[in-house]
Amino acid sequence: MPKLSVTVITKNEAAGIDDALASVAFADEIVVVDAFSTDETVRIAKRHTDRVIVRDWPGYIDQKNYAASIARYDWILSLDADERVTQELAGEIRSLMSGAPREMAYRIPRVTFHLGRWIRTTDWYPDYQLRLYDRRAAQWTGRYVHEAVTVRGEIGRLRGELQHYAYRDISDHLETIDRYTTYAARQMHEVGRKTSVLQIAGHPPLAFLRNYLAHGGIRDGVPGLIISVLNSYYVFLKFAKLWELQRTAPHSRATRSQQPVTSNQQPATSPRDVLPSR
């Protein structure tokens, strides 16, 4: 019967780390890797586990792989400090670990709390995240944004939800959009992606219609409208910044290679393309 290690990477997460770790108390081990927080993150984490390691910040991907590498057990549940494992998901994971899992990794539906409610419409839901995996057949990969788990083997899906407290308010949401569109535009530019006035003008309205009408944002009232607008703004800003790079930065093209199956290999109009989900 496999045992489960939960890994969490942190940096100044005192506001949420207590609830995050409490939600995974069922695990056989909790590993927290902190990047020299200046708040109470480490002290709070030590209430839940004696495996709290402090080290320099090498980036999301390297930090998550390091956390998995020092875990005692091969099955890893990677949790962010702004996420919570529901009782339903915890029970499903315990049941899975009580036998021999058939797949090497599992995607988990994630629901985001924003503007006073759980959002189960727009491109935000179901925001499947590959977080439960056997480290012997998987590792974190990626570049600037949307790090993913690369898996050698079959991937399954769980039904229980992962709860996500992504943004404090609209201002925090806008700051995240600004930061992530910079990374996204740089990443597109470096692989040779180009944009045009048609894409800058055309993609955002299509993103709004998809979010608000096709994916049901209209059913969430004003929050659904705001999120649909901000998701389309993310698309606009990403392409606008790519256009700016085309004009101001030396062109660079990274060699394209065939990519193995990852947790977030989705179409360009996927939730991860619209939603900065840190």
- Convert the pLDDT of each residue in 203-253 to its tens digit: 999 999 999 999 999 999 999 999 999 999 999 999 999 999 999 876 444
What pLDDT sits at residue 2? 95
Query: Which residue has 């949401």 as its token pair?
Result: 173
Distance from C-alpha of 60 to C-alpha of 62, rounded to nearest angstrom: 6
Average pLDDT over residues 62-66: 97
What DSSP state is assigned to residue 258?
Answer: P
Burial class (CB in 10 A: 0-12, 13-18, 19+), 248: exposed
User: Kindly report the CA angle at 94 between 93 and 98, in degrees rounded to 5?
Assistant: 115
pTM, two decimals, is: 0.86
Average pLDDT over residues 27-46: 98
Contact 272, 264 (CB under 8 A): yes
What pLDDT sits at residue 147? 85
Give me the chain's average pLDDT, please.
90
Three-state SS for 8? strand
Average pLDDT over residues 65-82: 98
Full DSSP string of 136-180: GGEEEE-SSS--EEEESS-EEE--SPEEE---SSHHHHHHHHHHH
What pLDDT sits at residue 250? 61
Average pLDDT over residues 68-87: 98
For the cut 50, the answer to whether the pLDDT of residue 131 exceeds it is yes
Helical segments of the chain, H only:
17-22, 41-45, 60-69, 87-97, 170-190, 197-209, 221-248, 271-274
In this prediction, residue 264 has a pLDDT band, given cuts at 50, 70 and 90, of very low
Q: Can you give the residue ranges of every domain in the chain?
A: 4-164, 170-274
What pLDDT sits at residue 268? 28
Three-state SS for 4? strand
Distance from C-alpha of 80 to C-alpha of 127, rounded to nearest angstrom: 14
What pLDDT sits at residue 220? 98
Q: What is the CATH number of domain 4-164?
A: 3.90.550.10
Strand partners, 141: 148
